Amino acid sequence: MRMKGISGRAMRELASVNCAFVGVATMGEIKNCSQLRFGLEEETVGRLRLLDEAARRRLGYRPFSLFTLRFQDVPAWDAVLERRVRDGDPVFAWPDNGSRLHQFLLMALAAFRELAEREPLSASVLFGAPPALVTQMTRVDISALPGIAKTVKPWLSARCATERDWWRWMILKSCVETDECPDRHRGVHASLMRALNLDKARLRGGRLCRRI
């Protein structure tokens, strides 16, 4: 499946990250639900656990990240990124056998950074990050990501975590949909662009997420 606007590659990469987030949110070893379920109610987590692999994959193909790392808080991110760009992190800072949560954070940050370089407007739309943060992320060396992941770990939460009905609806749709990336996603992308003041910008190909 190839897309105009937000590329099919970007959507597939986001889907992988989203599926990884669902996996972390439903880990059996998590004890402190209020802190480590990323704001999700236990009922929602229980519903997520019941999804089979195909349904999880469809849920992952939402037209936005299922999580947030306070991307809208540009001053906080500026402080983190400027320190890491200035000081740097040696390559050996990558953990040999880090926790599954830390591995997810590294995966998410790496995907965000790569997309910021390749499709900056798509990075803004899919991750809900202001353009200024997307631009700054491209200056970060990949060796700095472990340190950044450790710093922003407390910021990780599910998108709209307390909206139980919204999550229930998404989970239900993932069970009944047959298309992993519905054509209607382009309307959601357009709304996200307006929310980020990107409505006058143009993604590659002009229209958002249109099948060809």
Q: What is the pLDDT of residues 17-63, one digit of tens each?
A: 999 999 999 986 555 444 458 999 999 999 999 999 999 999 999 98
Reported pTM: 0.77
What is the residue whose two structure tokens read 């004890």? 31
Angle among Cα 195, 198, 201 to the nearest 5 degrees reads 155
Residues 6+ positions from 201 with CB-CB distance below 8 Å: 121, 193
Mapped onto helix, strand or coil, the DSSP state of residue 19 is helix
- Contact of 201 with 193, CB cutoff 8 Å: yes
Q: Phi then psi for 169, rounded to 5 degrees? A: -65, -45
Confidence of residue 92 (pLDDT cuts 50, 70, 90): very low
Paired with 3 in beta bridges are 211
* Token pair belonging to 19: 């599926």
Residues in the chain: 212
Residues 6+ positions from 29 with CB-CB distance below 8 Å: none
pLDDT, tens only, 144-191: 999 999 899 999 999 999 899 999 999 998 988 776 555 555 544 455
